[in-house]
Structure 1
């Protein structure tokens, strides 16, 4: 069984889950963890570990590579080598929706490999997109 924990600065993780649920529907296997200004690395580690309530594989999506949510999540993974924990930074709504669509029925490793391959397909500049569309005709 796969579960997802969204971890980000401020309330971004909560709002990312809310936005994903507007599009995808209820996401009961998703938890969100906020990182507040007054909190530090230890507090976020406790929150991330506390969100791992079940014996499951966990994908942790964080906002920034090497930011406190990412570093805290990595620390949790290193302290719990017996657990299957994948960590991916660069959380975005397209990535969260991709994870939601793959969550059940896919191996955690396959989900990580897929979501790390899609940013080039989801991040587009207007001019670039127009040129690509014209080339397709």
Structure 2
């Protein structure tokens, strides 16, 4: 199975997983773990290890983190790497990145997935401009 794992500082990962469930339904292949305020990095690493205990070397992981180099992402990478799990890692997660990862994970090989996800996510980032219509004052 291919899993999408969301890791973050605070409750961002859990909130993003909740938003994803509104769009794709509740799924067992989406896992979210956050480094809660007041918890140590070691406590996060143990929580993450426990949460991903069912993932085996037969599985693959798309690991999304809020910050490249942040404690949640680096600890998650270490845990999965020590388990020998094949993964692709993307930092700077947001809803378009997570949604694209979930929808495309079974379409592309893991080696090509990051490029595809980042291309799609990049296209989703746009400025929303409101243009005034001289004939109507309503927006």
Q: Specify the TM-score bucket, using the shorter chain as the normaliser.
A: 0.7 to 0.9
Q: Does 1:30 align with 2:61?
A: no
Aligned residue pair count: 128
1:7 aligns with 7
Which blocks of at least 5 consecutive residues in structure 2 are unaligned? Answer: 132-139
- Cα distance, 1:96 vs. partner? 1.0
RMSD over aligned CA atoms reads: 2.1
Query: 1:117 aligns to what SS in structure 2?
Result: helix
Task: Please say if residues 57 and 108 of structure 1, whose CA atoms lie closer than 8 Å, have aligned partners that are also in contact.
Answer: yes
Task: Please say if residues 35 and 41 of structure 2, whose CA atoms lie closer than 8 Å, have aligned partners that are also in contact.
Answer: no
Q: Does 1:54 align with 2:55?
A: yes
Q: Given the two structures, how large is their TM-score scaled by the length of structure 1?
A: 0.80
Looking at structure 2, the residues matched to 93 and 5 of structure 1 have their Cα atoms a distance apart, in angstroms, of: 13
Shift in CA distance, 4/19, structure 1 to aligned 2, threshold 3 Å: same
- Cα distance, 1:115 vs. partner? 1.8
Q: Which residue among 85, 88, 103 is the counterpart of 1:86?
A: 88
Q: Given the two structures, how large is their TM-score scaled by the length of structure 2?
A: 0.79
Which blocks of at least 5 consecutive residues in structure 1 are unaligned? Answer: 131-137
Looking at structure 1, the residues matched to 112 and 40 of structure 2 have their Cα atoms a distance apart, in angstroms, of: 32
- Cα distance, 1:77 vs. partner? 3.8
Task: Please say if residues 59 and 85 of structure 1, whose CA atoms lie closer than 8 Å, have aligned partners that are also in contact.
Answer: yes
Task: Please say if residues 104 and 117 of structure 2, whose CA atoms lie closer than 8 Å, have aligned partners that are also in contact.
Answer: no
- Cα distance, 1:109 vs. partner? 2.0
Looking at structure 2, the residues matched to 103 and 120 of structure 1 have their Cα atoms a distance apart, in angstroms, of: 17
2:45 aligns with 45
Looking at structure 2, the residues matched to 61 and 20 of structure 1 have their Cα atoms a distance apart, in angstroms, of: 13
Looking at structure 1, the residues matched to 87 and 18 of structure 2 have their Cα atoms a distance apart, in angstroms, of: 23
Flag the structure with larger Rg: 2
Query: Which deviates more from structure 2 when the two are superposed, residues 11-20 or residues 67-76?
Result: 67-76
